Chains A and B, each alone.
Chain A
Amino acid sequence: MKIVKVYGPGCKRCETTEAMVKNAAAKLGIEVGVEKITDARSIAMAGVMSTPGISVDGRLVHAGGLPDATRLEGWLSA
């Protein structure tokens, strides 16, 4: 199972990102555990400056704005 973390203080874009991750995982048939990190300190500690940020299995793959759906699938299946 892949652990995906979505970093963001809980604005609308962060929620959309979380939904996008779940959709992409369902579409690809990949099992993921999605964790939302909303606490400013943890977001900063992860090195994320622009939210929402996404990490897959501890590797930061995206920061700032909604991810591109195609690229998101790439990260999940990598």
Chain B
Amino acid sequence: MTIGIDVAPHGRGTLDWVWLAGVPVAAVVWWIVYGQLIPLSEWVTSLVPVARDSHTGEAIAFFVYDVPKVLLLLTGIVFVTGVLRSWFSPEKTRAILAGRREIWGYPLAALLGVLTPFCSCSSVPLFIGFVSAGIPLGVTFSFLIAGPMVGPVGLGLLYGLVGWEVATLYLVFGFTIATIAGWILGRMNLERFLQDWVRELNAGPTAELPEERLTLADRVRVGLEQVREIVGKVWIWVLVGIGIGAAIHGYVPETVMLRIMGGDAWWSVPAAVVVGIPMYTNAAGVIPIVEALLGKGAALGTTLAFMMSVIALSLPEMIILKQVLKLRLIAIFVAVVSAGILATGFLFNAIL
């Protein structure tokens, strides 16, 4: 790797120490506001001329409480993740994974999938960059599955809205699915189902980039930039998700929920997976729905399956990947990941 041809002087605009001092101040303000959410939301709800224990009152209370809570959590998580991820890049990850054919290449790829910053819009160049550098296809898949599935936003919101138990289960199983699905896909020798032009590319163009040297204040800026970009993009999904969650919380009777998503209805797990695929949203939008579903007595396995399917299997993502993968391979990919999700769903419905 070439180092620092053109390292420009840092510290443009605001002084570095202002950025660094701003972080603890913002954290304290965040903590205080977060602690006041229940009284605050109850007070706002009391302003609405609807009985608090009516269907509408319940729905409004859910909405008014969840919107600031999710937005606060989202901002905090995205900032911390943005700062942590500034130590990683797809280029570095590729260098770490290149040529790893050993069994532990898969969990390593899944771990790096969580830590490496990449947006779904560049998954095609990233895929090609990996495969052309000699990273096995299965390892690349582990990386691509883990990225969205075990993302920090999903985990953090699950922790804040549902509880640490479910968040931990989700982490363990999401990680396991990414690792095992990648390994299975790797064992199937699917290289022949890459689009022809990708296979011909195997010589592997690798551009050398001067490495950027970031100060801690730069990393804080990176984190804030992430907050502005991601929260600015997903807030609408958050509102829609919380709106749906509020409607479920306020209006759907528990008996109906138990019949559709209860543990006794075996078909509810595959149904949840199928319903989840075309749903295009992100973790921030789906977790308020998960919160409401669980609150109404939906089975944990079914709900986890739904959530994993929404986040990990998305139709637009597959359309993007169609540029590099033949339809057969996309179908196999979906089948293997779905199998993992189904197994998780059935397992939890059986043991809980």
Give chain A's interface residues, CB within 8 Å of chain B.
7-9, 11, 13, 40-41, 43-51, 60-66, 68-71, 74-75, 78
Contact = CB atoms under 8 A, between A and B. Distances in A.
Contacts of A46: 205, 207
Contacts of A69: 12
Q: Which of A9, A44, A45, A62 has the most CB of B within 10 A?
A: A44
Interface of B: 6, 8-9, 12, 89-91, 94, 117-119, 121-122, 124-126, 128-130, 132, 197, 201, 205-210, 225, 229, 323-324
B157 to A, nearest CB: 24
Nearest to A78: B6
Given A50-B89, A51-B122, A45 B8 contact: no
Contact of B90 (A50, A61, A74): A50
A49 B8 contact: no
B126 A50 contact: yes
Contacts, number: 88
B199 to A, nearest CB: 13
B90 A49 contact: yes
Contacts of A66: 225
B125 A51 contact: yes
B130 to A, nearest CB: 8
B234 to A, nearest CB: 13
Contact of A60 (B118, B197, B207): B207
B8 A63 contact: no
B228 to A, nearest CB: 11
Given A9-B121, A49-B91, A70 B207 contact: no
A16 B132 CA distance: 29
Contacts of A13: 119, 229
A44 B125 contact: yes
A60 B207 CA distance: 7
A51 B121 contact: yes
Nearest to A63: B209
Contacts of A8: 121-122
Nearest to A71: B8
Contact of B125 (A50, A60, A70): A50
A44 B205 CA distance: 8
Contacts of B207: 46-48, 60, 63
Given A40-B124, A44-B201, A61-B210, A68 B91 contact: no
Give the one of A41, A44, A49, A50 with max B CB within 10 A: A49
26 contacts: A9-B121, A9-B124, A9-B125, A40-B124, A40-B323, A43-B125, A44-B128, A44-B201, A45-B201, A47-B206, A49-B125, A49-B130, A50-B91, A50-B122, A50-B125, A50-B126, A51-B125, A60-B209, A63-B207, A64-B90, A64-B117, A64-B118, A65-B117, A69-B12, A71-B8, A74-B8
Contacts of B209: 60-63
